[in-house]
Every structure is written in C-alpha cells, then in structure tokens.
Amino acid sequence: MSESSVERPGVSEFWSSLSTEGRWLLSTVVVQTLGRGLTLPFTIIYMNEVRGISLDLAGLLMAFIAVVALAVTGPGGVLVDRVGARRMLLFSTSCQLVGCVVIAFATTPLLFALGFAFLGINFGVSWPAFNALVAAVTTGETRQQYFGINFALINLGIGVGGIIGGFYADVTDATTFTVIFLADAASMLVPILLLLGPLRHVQGLAERPADDDAPGSYLAILRQPAVVWLTALTFLGTFVGYGQIEAGLPAFARSVNEVSTRVIGFGFAVNTATIVLLQFVVLRRISGRRRTRVLVVMTALWAVAWLTLGLTGVVAGTLAAAIGVLAFNGVFALGETLLQPTIPAITNDMAPDHLRGRYNAISAGAFQAGTILGPVVAGVMIDHGWSWAFIAMIVAGCSAMAVLALVVERLITPAVNGIAGPAAPLTDPATGEQVVAD
C-alpha cells in the first residue's frame, strides 16, 4: 500500500475504532484540562501580585516544577512497568489534586514550593503512565490519531479555562485565586473517578515474554540507536519549541518586537484556536504517511515561524510587528499539530509492551530537560541583546531536527514509521497481554 493510497479516516471512523475504554479516556480530557487552564496563565501573577513574592523568586519556583518532574520521570517509568499505568496515573493525578489545594492557600515561598513539588511529581509520572495507558487501549493508526486528538482537546480545555480564569481572577481579591486553584483540584476528581470506575480493569501492565531475555534497564534501552536519536530529536524539539514558547517568545515579542501584552495574549489565543480547528484535518492528511517525513515538514514550519518573528523585529512597535507575532503563533501551532501525533506514536509503536513505561519516561525526560534549558538560554541571549543570534540558533535547531528525523527513519521499521507493514498485535486492555485477532 502506497502512502498516497491510504484511506483517510474521519471522525466517525476514528470514534468507532476506539474501544469503550479508549472512549472513556478521551471523553474526559477537556474537563480535567479546563481546570488546568484556569490556573496556568495566572500562577506567577498570583505569587507576585497577590502573595507578594518577587518575580525572580516566583520564576525560580515555577522552574522547580520541571526540576521535580525530571527527577521523578525515571523512577516513574519503572513503576509504570512494574505496577501498571492505571495505578501510577491514579497516584500522579492525586498528587496534582493535593498540589493545587496547597497552592490555593499558600502564602509563603516554602508552601508554594511544597505545592509545586506535588505538581512536578504529577507532570513527571503522568506522561509515561498516560501514554502507556493509551497504548494499552489503542493500536495502529488509531493510536496516532488518539495522540493528536488528545492534544487538541487539551488545548481546548486549557484555552477555555484560561478565558474563564481571566474574567474571574482579580488581583485585588485573593479569594478569587483560591477558588480557581480549588477548581483545578476538583477537576482532577474526574480522571480519578474514571480510573476507579469504568477503567478500573485497565491496568496497562504487560508480562515480560518468556522468550525475551534482553535486559530492560534504561541503559540497555538507550543503547538502541533508534531510541538515542529519537530522544535527541525530542529534546531538540522541546528546546526550540515548547522551551521557548513560554519564555523566548514573550521576551522577544516584548523587548525586540515591542508589542503590547495584549498582542501576546491574542497570540496565544491564535495558537490554541489553530490547534483545535486544524488538528483533525491534519490527522487525516498525515494518515498512512511516514511519520519522520511529517516531522521534517513540521521543522520547516517552525523555522518559517521563527524567521517571521525575527524579521518583523525590524519594524518594532508597528502594526506589522504585531501581525508578525500573531502569524508566528498560527504557523507554530500548525507545526505542533504535526509533532504531537508522531513522536508519541513512534515511541509507543517501538516499545515492547512490558517496557512501555520506560520508553515513555525517556521521552518525557528529554521533554523536561528541554523545558528547563530552553528558557535559560533564551533569557541570557535576549537579555544581552543577541536577538538575531537567538533566531539563528532556533532556525539552526529546526534544521538539525530535520536531519535527526531522517536518521531515525533509517533505524525504525515501516510499521513504526506509520506506513504499510505487519499489523500491530492487539492488546487486551484488562491484562495488557497480546491477543490474536479473529
């Protein structure tokens, strides 16, 4: 079957191909991420303007979340493989709930650090646990679509939550911030009840095959060239992408493009709207195509986005500069719709069932490292006035990503790369064991 001849599935086909467990897991995403959207854009404002914590200390406290997440990702991946994805996801979501409650009433840096530690545990453990659980209830092309649609729903929930939080939160009334963080905590009850109820039999746990005597340590996994290069690709994608979108982009837009904070806010709205509106359209277009080639297209889009942002810096403070910031967010978001379905799908199609937690933990660790290093580099370069060097570095990083994607293509099978190949074995969602289809 050629790439061009693959039938493009629609929404109804995707939904009908999902197991009951997959539908339950997907249908609650917007609700639980809406709570996250209520607080995500306003956490640092809450610390600084409501609780009186200086901006520099507030920034360090926010970075502490990623540091904790990076520290727990490795052990979390091992536990996912040993006790099951459902149990670990239940644990991590409970940590998120506790963290939000602590932050809701925090008044000192120490209490914020405690709350952020719980959030970091959730971020570090939930990635390998959730992805392993998704892989347990999906297979083949449905798995790639699932990751893409899940990403769109996350953005929808966060976007709607951000709008509601923006209207409700008031820096002159600390109670409003307490309420939105408690609402964030309450939204975690949705996945917790789901995991204790309809999904209680989905363990996301697979026994090691009797004929498999290969070591399953992180070191052994990282000795595989495909894993190494895919991990490098994930880190670089985070460094030039997500590591900059929350730090490098706002800093560049304010200090170089000289646009207002309102334009930056509208830019993030454009980003969210693009993902929500185009994700399923993109999924239909990339269905049956080489995932690595999709990643190459994504790197080209990101390079164009960053060049647009840099060039409009020449006309700083003008309408053209504002349009450049908005255009950046739209093009960058289009690239995101290509990234999110592909790397997680490659990772989980590559991973043996009994090591899925570790494989996803390696991917999550690369992501966390990129989100830590990206803002640091952006801050130093933009603060020193090296704006053109910053843009050049990001574009060079995008080019390096394209090269890495082609390297990965040579190291993985066609089936892992999303094109014709042997059918992936089905997995019993209750036991995680492979079954033979009739």
Q: Please check whether residue 132 is in contact with residue 204, taking contact to mean a CB–CB distance below 8 angstroms.
A: yes
Q: pLDDT band at 110, cuts 50/70/90?
A: very high
pLDDT at 180: 93
Q: pLDDT band at 125, cuts 50/70/90?
A: very high
pLDDT at 6: 47
Tell me if domain 19-205 and domain 218-420 are identical in fold: yes
Q: What is the mean pLDDT of the chain?
A: 85
pLDDT at 420: 61
Q: Looking at the predicted structure, is the pLDDT value of residue 45 above 70?
A: yes
Where is average pLDDT lowest: 68-77, 117-126, 199-208, 245-254?
Answer: 199-208
Where is average pLDDT lowest: 206-220, 323-337, 389-403?
Answer: 206-220
Token pair listed for 5 = 């001849």
Q: Please check whether residue 416 is in contact with residue 423, taking contact to mean a CB–CB distance below 8 angstroms.
A: no
**CATH class for the region spanning 19-205:** mainly alpha
Architecture of domain 218-420: Up-down Bundle (1.20)
Provide mean pLDDT across the span 93-113.
Answer: 96
Q: DSSP 3-state assignment of 435?
A: strand
Token pair listed for 70 = 């990076």
pLDDT at 259: 85
What predicted TM-score, i.e. pTM, was given to this entire model? Answer: 0.79
Which stretches within 287-355 are classed as H helix?
Answer: 291-311, 319-350
Provide mean pLDDT across the span 180-188.
Answer: 94
Q: Per-residue pLDDT tens for 165-178?
A: 878 888 889 999 99
pLDDT at 60: 81
Nearest-10 Cα torsion for 28, 30, 35, 39: 150
Q: Looking at the predicted structure, is the pLDDT value of residue 103 above 90?
A: yes
Q: pLDDT band at 28, cuts 50/70/90?
A: confident
Q: Looking at the predicted structure, is the pLDDT value of residue 212 above 70?
A: no
Q: DSSP 3-state assignment of 426?
A: strand
**Nearest alpha carbon to residue 293 among 338, 242, 251, 333:** 338
Q: Per-residue pLDDT tens for 138-160?
A: 876 788 788 888 888 888 888 88
Q: pLDDT band at 206, cuts 50/70/90?
A: low
Q: DSSP 3-state assignment of 66?
A: helix
Domain ranges of the chain: 19-205, 218-420
Where is average pLDDT lowest: 96-100, 213-217, 413-417?
Answer: 213-217
Provide mean pLDDT across the span 14-37.
Answer: 81
Q: pLDDT band at 377, cuts 50/70/90?
A: confident
Sign of the four-CA dihedral 240, 246, 251, 254: positive
